[in-house]
Amino acid sequence: MDNIDINVTPIIREVTIEVSQAIKGDTGEQGIQGEQGIQGETGVAANQITSLTLLSSGWVLDGTTYKYQLANANILATSIVDVIPDNADVAIVQVAEVLPQTNSIAGFVEIWANNIPTTDIVVTINIFD
């Protein structure tokens, strides 16, 4: 049997598909506006007092902890008072183990620590009424 050579030439057909743009319908009517929500209460601004000093000699034994009464005429019995130590005094605060809870009395905020601070502590207070 004789060998026959066959050359196959590929035929490439180009197919063009035309996509027509979809036709958009008319816009519907606008819906009814919802009710307005209740307005929130206005926040309370803090009365901030900076550069106050807790004297190391002012701490007194109160049971098993030491208490300091920081006087300020802006503090009411119902005030919430944040006592924020200065960053430079953080090591003193840590060694004294100053506790996070405070107690407000008219004209004072009470602060507690497990140990008497070795030096004075500079603080900022934020008073919320």
Q: Between residues 52 and 4, which one has the greater pLDDT?
A: 52
User: Model confidence at 6, in pLDDT bands (50, 70, 90)?
Assistant: low
**Distance from C-alpha of 118 to C-alpha of 73, rounded to nearest angstrom:** 27
List the Cα angle 34/38/41 in 5-degree steps. Answer: 155
**Distance from C-alpha of 51 to C-alpha of 126, rounded to nearest angstrom:** 12
Task: Say if 18 falls within a structural domain.
Answer: no
Task: Say if 41 falls within a structural domain.
Answer: no
Residue span of the structural domain in which 98 resides: 57-128
* Confidence (pLDDT) at 111: 97
* Confidence (pLDDT) at 118: 94
Task: Say if 65 falls within a structural domain.
Answer: yes
Quote the pTM value.
Answer: 0.66
The answer on pLDDT for 124 being more than 90 is yes
Task: Say if 34 falls within a structural domain.
Answer: no
* Confidence (pLDDT) at 13: 57
**Distance from C-alpha of 69 to C-alpha of 86, rounded to nearest angstrom:** 18
